[in-house]
Every structure is written in C-alpha cells, then in structure tokens.
Amino acid sequence: MLRIDLMAGCALSLALLAAAPAAAQDLQNRAVAPPVQDAPVPNAPPPAIGDDQVQFSASGLEYDTNADVVTATGEVRMFRQGDRLRADKVVWNRKTGKVVATGNIAVTNPEGDIAYGDEINLTDSLKDGVIDNMLVVLEQGGRLAAKQGTRDLNGTVELRTAAYTPCAVSNSAGCPKEPTWKITAIRVTYRPERQRIYYSGARLHLFGLPSLPLPKFSNPVGGGSDNGLLSPNFNYSRANGLEFALPYYFKLAPNKGLTITPHVYSSVLPMLQAEYSALSTRGAFKIGAYATESRRSDDLSTATLTDTERAFRGYIDGIARYQLSPNWTASGSLRLTTDRTFLRRYDISRDDRLRSTASLERIDDSSYFALTGWVVQTLRVNDQQGMQPIALPELDYRKRFADPLLGGTLQLQLNTLALTRTDGQDTQRAFASAQWDLRKLTRWGQEVTFTALARADAYNTNDTAATLVESYRGLEGFHGRAIGALAVDVKWPFIGSFLSGTQRFTPRVQLVASPKLANQSLPNEDSRAVDLDTSNLFALNRFAGYDRFEDSSRATYGAEWAVDLPGITLDATVGQSYRLDARPSLFADGTGLSDRFSDIVGRTELRFRDFVSLTHRYRLDKDSFAVRRNELDATIGSRASYVLVGYLRLNRDIFPAIEDLQDREELRVGGRVQFARFWSAFGSAVVDLTNKAEDPASLSSGFDPIRHRLGVQYEDDCIRLGATWRRYYNDTGDARKGNSFLLSLALTNLGR
C-alpha cells in the first residue's frame, strides 16, 4: 500500500516530465544500483604486481571458441584495477579487446564517480569507451548527462550536447523534478585529476526560465578551489549609483589565495578591492584593502559641506592569529582608513572607531601573561584624532595558587600600561596586587565567600591640562596609591516545588570595607563609563577599570528567584546597596551610586522552550522610583520565522561632559518570515525615539528612523538568490542618506 501511494504521489511529476519535450540530457536517477566489489576471500593470495586480469561474475556464460567471444548474461559484474561494471548483458571479444554492455549499465571508477547508460562500448581495460544516453554521478556531488559520452584511458570524460547540475533532481517525496539550475553546453569535458568541468557553448538555466548564454569557462567540483570567477554582486546607492562587482580568485597554493574584486559604479570612479589569505599548521592570516579616488568632505563639523578635489581614498583590514605552542599565542589586527566617511560612503562598515591591535599571550592552568598594544582611529565627526590614546604596551601577568591559606585561592597580578596622545595627556601606570578568596558551605546550606585584596599603584602623568574634564586629569608627575579591601558575601538558597516544577529563592548579602583612597590625584583613563546594573552590583569594585577604586564601606543586598517548569524557565534578580560611611562619593550624579542608598537594579529573563526569549533590565530611582534605565530584548519564533525586538530608554540626567552616553530612547526591530519552503522575507529597522525633553542637544523629533532594511530571499540546496532594499536617514559628510538596493546570486559549486 505504501508503494502504491508513493507512486501515485509521483504521478503528477512523472506526467509533467513526460509531457515536456524530449531532451538529450537526462539528469534523473537510473533504476540500477552501482556495482559493488565482492567481499575479499579469506586467506586468498594477493594479486601479483602488475596483474591486470578482468574478474567477472554472471548468471550465465557462453564462450564461442572459434570467434573467441565471451557472452555473459544476467547480473553481470566485471572488475579490473578499481574499475567496476554492472550490466544485464556483456559481450567480450577477446581478439579485438572490445566489450559491449547493454541493459541497466553502471560503471564506477576508482575515484567513486558512477556512469550510467543504455549501451556502452569499452576496451577490455574498462577504462575507456563510448556510452549512449550517459549519466555521470560525481562522488563529490553533482551530475553530468549527455546523449553520448566518451571516456579515455586517463579517465577524462568528453560529452556532447550535455548538461551539468549539482542540484537535487527529486523532491522530498522522492519524486523526480527539474533541478533549480543547470548548465547545458554543446561540449562538456570532465577531468577527474583536476576535479574540474570545462564548457563550450554553454547556457545557464534558472527555474526553467529562458536560458542565459555564458562565455567559455570552467568550474571546480567538490571541496577544492582553483582560479576563477566568483559570484557577482549588483548594488545601487544614491551616492555611487549602480554598482557591479565581480570577484576573481587566484589560487596561489593549496593554503593560500588572492581575491581581486573590481567595483564599477555609474556615478563615481571604479574601486579595486583585494583580499589575501593564508592558512598554516600554526595559524591563519588575512588582509584586505580597498582603493579608489573620489571627492570627499573635509570639514564635517560645519553646516555647509565643502568638497575637495579628487583624492585617494582607501581602507586596510587585516587579522592574524598563530598558535606558537600549546601555551603561546600571537595575534594582531589592522584597521585603517584614509578619512572618516569612506567606509559609510561605500557601505563597507558602519563603525565609528577603528582599532588596530597586537598581542602576545601565554596561558596555562594556573597563570596568564599578555603583552598587548593598540591604536584607535576615530571616525566620529567631532572627535580629535590627536586625543585618541595609543597603548604601547600593556603588560598583564597573573598567577593563581590553590590552597595557600586555609584552603582558599590566592591570585597575584602585575600590570603596566603606557598611554600616549599626540595632542593630549600621556599616562603611564603600574600596579601589583594580591587577592585571596575562600568559599565555604555551612551546615545550614549558606554559601559564604571571604575576599581580601591588597594593591599598590604608581602613576606618571604629563600634559594634564589637555584633558578638558578636570576629574579625569589627575596631578602632574609621579604619584602613588595603596588599596586595601575586605569583603564577605553570603548566599542562602531555598529550593522547593512550584506548580509542576521547582523554584529556587536565594537571598544575598555582601559587606565590603575599604579605607579612603587617593583617587582624585590620579588620572582616570579606563573607569569613565559607570552605570549600576546587576552585573556589577556585587562587584568588589564597581568601576569598570583600574584607575578608580570604590573607597567606601557598604552593604549590598538582593535576591534571586528562579523557576523551572516543563518548557519554561524564569530568572529574576533585584538588589540595592547602602554606603555605611558618609564620605563624598566618587560617582557622578546619574550613575545610580552617587548617594548613600543606591538606585534599585534588576534583571528578569523568561524563556519558553526555543520559541520565546525575553530579557528585561531596569534601574529605578531610589527616591521617586522613576525608571532611569529600561531595556528590553525579546526573540519570538523559530529558526525559520522569528521576530526580534529591542528597546532602550536611558533617563540618567548625567552631566554631558562626564560621559559620551547621554539620555536617549531607541527602538530596534527585526525579523524573518518563511512563507514557503525555500522563500523567506526579512527586515530590520532602528528608530530614534529621543526628544528634547530627554536630551536638549538631540535633533530628533521623537520618532526619527535611523536606517531600515527589507528583503526577500530564495535558498535551497544549490542556489541562493536575494534582493534587499536599505535606506539610511542621516547624512555624514559625503556619505549621503538615501536608498540602496542589493541583488545577490550564489550557485553551489560554480565559481568557487
């Protein structure tokens, strides 16, 4: 009954294929199994060197002694030096060496390629011959079909009036179907030793639409690579007009390659892109570059933009990582551009800072060493490049000792950093620290952690007057600081049943004591952005870096509630801190830590199977309960269809000169809908909801789109075709707002 239903389900597909005009290239599967080598005979003697005898088996065998002709019938199998043949009937003329096979023919070579046909004329080596109605199924994937084909002694296959496709020729129900795309050609040559197919007089067929003529070309099969064209890209933007990019790949070695991509525009001069990559047993290296000549805006801070004469513009992007030994690693990155708007103008990147790094690391089970340097190039309109720090170098060493005292863990750290600015303050820093941690479980189930920290700092600062914010400067010259802190952290989890699952309620209290420190006499380079949330609520130092240390005694308290139900998990955390001493706070107003009582912070995460994920972060004013931070990230849907929503509102009322991050309100949405098996639509948008009540310096009206993207894509087993519409709503120099359109096409195994 199952077989009858299956055949009935395929009847329509078969009828459609039968109704189509007869084609010389039959890419459909053949109703015959490929020949399989018989199992080796136990204790059989090995074949002699150079033995090229033909082994065969058949249901029936006739031998004409006068003509010296052997005729094998019924499930004929022939084997010779890795070449295998299966047929219903084989006639072998031993005088001429000619072998004629008919009926359900399948021939397999040592590489695993299988050739099918109605009739085959071979020599007795089984390596060369002529096949009628030929189908070749490649071991690496893909298939070739032709009215007639020949194979020579080297295994090269020559096809006339042929077709090639790597696509499936049957649907999920096993019914035959036309491939998504195929190439037909007057002549096709397959060379197994090069793993490459060559075409003459070729045409490309997509979705059964009228064919597109193609120049004489070739493409690899399988997982290798070779010289050749890659998939082209089409794009349109207001600033550059219509764009056409056609990459060409040069295979320099099995582990090295170079891709050259010319970008041709209708409104501006062409741009050249190059990318070189190399892989070795120790690591990998890749570097890319863009180069062109165009007009650009020099003065981005004025209302009236002025254009320069044509100038060279470009960008370099490189990355490398090498594993020198099991413990030692060297890595680096390079990102550098000629001006601040090049990346946006040519839609390469939307980053507002470029960072180049170099690092040498050593890691083992108890120690860490890193020697690092970096430099930053700003692309922000109002930033001065001379105020950007150059770190050469930062040295960080850490060593951990287990059970040195009362069963705890001791970690020693040495750190040095030198920051240089061409037009700003220079800072050198060094410190040594020791931190001891001891974790114990009491007989009542509490988890108690004891911590002790001691640290000594030394700073040298020059040109402090160049730093505009006074609290960031520090004092000129050499200065030191001694830091000490003690802490005890207690968690007491309670676990019980809840509905059809379990719940866990964990109160937590932390006490920290630290004496008054000489913070203001030292510069602040790495502790400028501070905002209280659940990630740093119970931290020993709630400043992000090393330059500031929280010199107060405080009590921090909070609770965590976790619920685990079938398919549902809920985790909620809330907490607050209280400063036990009356010293003036180091924290600025708006951080949530400026008063003795801190603001209330919390985080809630809800998950329903793999369909819903919801995370909410918030900070409430301790006095008015006004929402100072409200952040929501939600994902709803499956991998095929989903919606992403992100919302952020900051209402910190922080002084503008203290931090770059000012009050703002923003909405981010995105999603994808799969409306057919291979078709999907996608989109995303960012909207600025900030108004002047939230940020007086903001130019937003309360609902200003920043950018959006809409597109549609088709993707199956062997093709990806998409169209995307993007729009940017802001001008930055010569990176103009407006629409851009992108058309992409990628064919499996073509142009790799």
Domain of 175, CATH number, reads 2.60.450.10
The predicted structure's pLDDT at residue 749:
62
Is the pLDDT reported for residue 736 higher than 50? Answer: yes
Inform me whether the pLDDT recorded for 39 exceeds 90: no
On the question of pLDDT at 38 being above 60, the answer is no
Alpha-carbon span 434 to 412, nearest angstrom: 5
Res 190 pLDDT > 50: yes
- Residue 448 belongs to a domain: no
Q: Is the pLDDT of residue 42 over 60?
A: no
Q: 94 vs 461, which has greater pLDDT?
A: 461
pLDDT at 12 over 50: no
* 712 within some domain: no
Q: pLDDT for 313-327, tens place per residue?
A: 999 999 999 999 999
Four-point Cα dihedral 223, 225, 228, 231, nearest 10 = 50
Tell me: the pLDDT tens digits for 564-608? 999 999 999 999 999 998 888 888 888 899 999 999 999 999 999
For residues 198 and 614, which has the higher predicted lDDT (pLDDT)?
614
Q: Is residue 204 part of a domain?
A: yes
**Per mean pLDDT, which range of 179-193, 534-548, 687-701, 735-749 is the poorest?**
687-701
Band of residue 524 on the pLDDT scale cut at 50, 70, 90: very high
| Average pLDDT for 632-658 | 89
The partner residues of 242 in beta bridges, in order of sequence, read 236
Q: Are 642 and 636 in contact (CB under 8 A)?
A: yes
Query: Is 296 a member of any domain?
Result: no
Predicted TM-score (pTM) of the model is 0.81
Domain extent, residue 157, equals: 54-227
In the prediction, which pLDDT does 140 show?
75
- The radius of gyration of the chain's CA atoms, rounded to the nearest angstrom, is 36
182 exposure class (CB count in 10 Å sphere: 0-12, 13-18, 19+): buried
pLDDT band at 388 (very low <50, low <70, confident <90, very high): very high
φ, ψ (nearest 5 deg) of residue 357: -135, 160
Is the pLDDT assigned to residue 563 strictly greater than 90?
A: yes
Name the E strands within 192-310.
196-206, 212-213, 217-220, 228-229, 233-237, 241-245, 248-253, 256-265, 271-279, 283-294
Amino acid at the residue 208:
G
Backbone CA torsion sign across 625, 628, 574, 600: negative
State the total domains in the chain.
Answer: 1
Confidence of residue 407 (pLDDT cuts 50, 70, 90): confident
Contact 288, 275 (CB under 8 A): yes
Choice between 5 and 503, residue whose per-residue pLDDT is larger: 503
Of residues 50 and 732, which shows the higher confidence score?
732
The residue with tokens 């470029």 is: 354
Residue 21 has pLDDT above 50, yes or no: no
Mean pLDDT confidence for 495-523: 94
Q: What is the mean pLDDT of residues 71-88?
A: 84
Residue 337: per-residue pLDDT: 96
Confidence of residue 51 (pLDDT cuts 50, 70, 90): low
Q: With bands split at pLDDT 50, 70 and 90, how would you rate the model's confidence at 752?
A: very low
Backbone phi, psi, residue 6, to 5°: -65, -45
Q: Is residue 109 part of a domain?
A: yes
Residue 71 forms part of a structural domain: yes
The residues, any chain, with a CB within 8 Å of residue 16's CB and separated by 6 or more, are none
CB-based contacts of 322, cutoff 8 Å, min separation 6? 280, 282, 283, 284, 285, 329, 330, 331
Average pLDDT over residues 490-510: 96
- Bridge-based pairing state of the strands 494-498 and 55-57: unpaired
Q: Which of 195-204, 545-554, 622-631 has the lowest mean pLDDT?
A: 195-204
Q: What average pLDDT does range 363-391 have in this prediction?
A: 93
Q: How far is CA 410 from CA 372, 431, 539, in A?
A: 25, 17, 18
- Per-residue tokens: 521: 């006499």
Residue 74 Rama label (left phi>0; alpha psi -120 to 50; beta): left
pLDDT of residue 310: 81
The per-residue pLDDT for 14 is 42
What's the mean pLDDT in 180-208?
A: 86
Confidence of residue 52 (pLDDT cuts 50, 70, 90): low
Q: Which of 96-110, 147-161, 649-663 has the lowest mean pLDDT?
A: 649-663
Q: CA torsion angle for 652, 653, 654, 655 (degrees, to 10)?
A: 170
Decide if pLDDT at 136 tops 90.
no
Write down the pLDDT at residue 83.
80
Of residues 736 and 521, the one with the higher pLDDT is: 521
- Report whether pLDDT(105) > 90: no
Cα–Cα dist 49/47, whole Å: 6
Q: Does position 745 have pLDDT exceeding 80, yes or no? A: yes
Mean pLDDT of the chain: 86
Q: How far apart are CA 16 and CA 24, in angstroms?
A: 17
pLDDT for 547 equals 94
| pLDDT of 149 higher than 90 | no
Region of poorest pLDDT, from 213-222, 323-332, 565-574: 213-222
Q: What pLDDT is stored for residue 696 in this prediction?
A: 66
Q: Look at residue 169 and tell me if it is in a domain.
A: yes
pLDDT in tens, 409-425: 999 999 999 999 999 99
Q: What percent of the chain has pLDDT over 90?
A: 50
Predicted confidence at residue 258, as pLDDT, reads: 96
pLDDT at 15: 42
207 assigned to some structural domain: yes
pLDDT band at 11 (very low <50, low <70, confident <90, very high): very low
Helix (H, G, I), strand (E, B) or coil at 387: helix
Whether residue 76 contacts residue 101, with contact meaning beta carbons closer than 8 Å, is answered with: yes
DSSP state at residue 266: S
Return the pLDDT at 695: 67
If one compares 228 and 337, the residue with the highest pLDDT of the two is 337
Report yes or no: 643 and 668 within 8 Å, Cβ to Cβ.
no
pLDDT digits (tens, 9 = 90+) for 264-273: 999 999 999 9
